[in-house]
Amino acid sequence: MISIQPTQHLTGVTVSGDEEGEYPTYDAVRIRVLGVFIDIRHAIIGNRGAKHVPNGLDRDGMRDLSITGSEMNIYLTFEVLSPEMMFVSYALNDFIHLFERNNKTHAWNSNGMVVRKSI
């Protein structure tokens, strides 16, 4: 079970707990989903790949707008097999349905919507 408690000086929260054993049939699924999340986290901190993508601004456009900057953006990358991404997508939808059913929430719950937007 996950618990969220305010910090001593009320400047944040402490998140603690685990979800092992909460849905025993989903333990292996949870590990695979977390594996993809770990890859996302490593990409964010720069431990995976990156590629340069044109951002639509050229030197003339930047001069006209009186801005300075790069003509390229950096996109962070990581690789996952297609079947794994499909599996994770379906698994996250199942987790959302379990959450909604067990917490008696509706489909428009903000937690589920954030997850659905990301997949």
**To which H or E segment does residue 118 belong?**
helix 110-118
Cα–Cα dist 80/116, whole Å: 19
Q: Which pLDDT score is estimated for 2?
A: 65
Instruction: Look at residue 32 and tell me whether its pLDDT is greater than 80.
Output: yes
Nearest to 53 by CA among 71, 26, 38, 77: 71
**Quick one: tokens of 9?**
């000086």
Question: Higher model confidence: residue 7 or residue 18?
Answer: 7
Q: What is the 3-state secondary structure (H, E, C) of 24-60?
A: HHHHHHHHHHHHHHHHHHHHHCCCCEEEEEECCCCHH
Residues 81, 6: Cα–Cα separation, whole Å: 39
Q: Which residue has the tokens 């977390």?
A: 34
pTM above 0.85, yes or no: no
Single-letter code of the amino acid located at 92: L
The DSSP symbol for 27 reads: H
Question: Angle 27-44/82-102 helices, nearest 10 degrees?
Answer: 120
pLDDT, tens digit, 9 for 90 and up, residues 58-87: 888 888 888 888 889 999 999 999 999 999
